[in-house]
């Protein structure tokens, strides 16, 4: 059955893929090396209008780092006000924080434009790039500015407090301190979607399996995952990211009707015949060969096949987007 997304539940707007941090579990492979492109107000308004027309009444703003460009974020908040989209929260890594007074001033101004709640990232993965002191500084500044704070995820605070808060600590320091079982313990404690960079981070805990095993146990199609709108995303380029399948995309304008199989052959193959279908498709068309070290799950195989297609010139396709996602693998 063709992929067709006719209603939306809860989702986010990716304002930029650039971030001062490059967390080893980032689903979207954000980082300093990504383009500084930031969503413009018109694109944000078009995304919000489309989401509203399909039933989503609130969205969050994420990235990358949405606060890397405060003026750009002001444009997103203006677009939300203009279209009637409610903003649940804006995400931040806190990397931009330098001075308490300046942070309060900035957040107060953004609050007057509609920023009601700030999700402040807090994790051992982020601590490799952002000292805990900055994370706590942003939280205090938000409260002082009258912006609600949503620490994500606060249960990591006890782990972070084991280290000097004034500086960064790479994930390797956590492995050294808590032992090699730490990644597995993280997966026990919290849900982290396996996608983007997370495959490499958690492969030692989860192991990798040969392609034959992955294909044998995979579901016959990916329609359920691609149609999942419980945490959807739209991005600065006017693309919709189906499910949590980062690196796959179709135009926001194409929401609401069955996808054209000629315009979207990869998504159509995945929706109709799953990872086995994509594997056969890429092997026949572009000589894809599975790697010997295997894969964590079908989604890592999917990402690897898509990387191969991107390298073989498919980076201009409508559905392997943004191309930088694959260039960063
Ligand atoms: S195999 Fe690909 S399309 Fe299917 S759920 Fe995983 S990432 Fe999404």
Q: What is the pLDDT of residues 16-61, one digit of tens each?
A: 999 999 999 999 999 999 999 999 999 999 999 999 999 999 999 9
Cα–ligand 1 centroid distance for 80 (angstroms): 31
- Sorted by where each starts, the structural domains of the chain and their CATH numbers stand as 11-189 (3.20.20.70), 213-225+256-327 (no CATH)
Cβ contact 271:226 at 8 Å: yes
Q: Is the CB of 299 under 6 A from ligand 1?
A: yes
Give the mutation target among 27, 194, 298 for probing the ligand 1 site: most ligand atoms within 8 A of CB: 298
Residue nearest to atom 6 of ligand 1 (CA): 299
Cα–ligand 1 centroid distance for 301 (angstroms): 9
Is the confidence at residue 316, as pLDDT, over 90? no
Q: What is the pLDDT of residues 255-311, one digit of tens each?
A: 999 999 999 999 999 999 999 999 999 999 999 999 999 999 999 999 999 999 999
CA distances from 275 to 45, 184, 215, 293 (A): 35, 26, 7, 18
Is the confidence at residue 312, as pLDDT, over 90? yes
Q: What is the pLDDT of residues 169-213, one digit of tens each?
A: 999 999 999 999 999 999 999 999 999 999 999 999 999 999 999
Q: How far apart are CA 325 and CA 247, in angstroms?
A: 6
Give the mutation target among 3, 198, 225, 274 for probing the ligand 1 site: most ligand atoms within 8 A of CB: 225
What does 144-184 look like in DSSP terms, one character per residue?
HTT-EEEEETGGGHHHHTTS-TTS---HHHHHHHH-TTHHH
In the chain, the percentage of residues whose pLDDT exceeds 90 is 98
Residue nearest to atom 8 of ligand 1 (CA): 245
Tokens of 154: 């606060």
Q: What is the pLDDT of residues 76-113, one digit of tens each?
A: 999 999 999 999 999 999 999 999 999 999 999 999 99
Q: Is the CB of 275 under 6 A from ligand 1?
A: yes
């Amino acid at each position: 059955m063709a992929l067709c997304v006719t209603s939306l539940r809860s989702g986010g707007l990716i304002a930029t893929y650039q971030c001062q941090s490059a967390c080893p579990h980032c689903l979207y492979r954000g980082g300093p090396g990504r383009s500084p492109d930031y969503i413009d107000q018109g694109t944000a308004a078009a995304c919000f209008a489309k989401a509203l027309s399909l039933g989503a009444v609130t969205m969050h703003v994420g990235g990358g780092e949405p606060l890397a460009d405060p003026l750009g974020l002001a444009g997103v908040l203006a677009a939300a006000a203009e279209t009637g989209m409610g903003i649940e929260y804006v995400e931040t890594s806190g990397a931009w924080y330098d001075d308490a007074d300046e942070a309060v001033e900035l957040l107060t101004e953004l609050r007057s434009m509609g920023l009601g709640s700030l999700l402040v990232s807090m994790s051992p993965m982020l601590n490799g790039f952002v000292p805990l002191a900055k994370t706590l500084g942003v939280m205090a500044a938000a409260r002082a500015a009258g912006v609600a704070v949503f620490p994500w995820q606060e249960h990591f605070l006890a782990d972070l407090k084991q280290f000097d808060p004034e500086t960064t600590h790479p994930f390797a320091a956590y492995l050294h301190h808590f032992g090699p079982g730490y990644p597995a313990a993280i997966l026990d404690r919290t849900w982290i979607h396996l996608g983007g960079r997370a495959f490499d981070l958690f492969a030692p805990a989860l192991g990798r399996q040969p392609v034959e095993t992955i294909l044998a146990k995979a579901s016959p199609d990916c329609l359920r995952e691609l149609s999942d709108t419980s945490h959807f995303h739209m991005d600065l380029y006017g693309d919709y990211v189906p499910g949590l399948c980062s690196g796959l995309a179709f135009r926001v304008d194409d929401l609401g009707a069955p996808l054209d199989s000629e315009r979207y052959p990869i998504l159509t193959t995945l929706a109709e015949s799953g990872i086995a279908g994509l594997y056969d498709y890429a092997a026949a068309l572009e000589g894809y060969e599975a790697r010997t070290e295997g894969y964590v799950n079908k989604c890592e195989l999917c990402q690897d096949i898509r990387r191969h297609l991107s390298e073989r010139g498919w980076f201009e396709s409508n559905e392997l987007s943004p191309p930088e996602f694959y260039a960063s693998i």
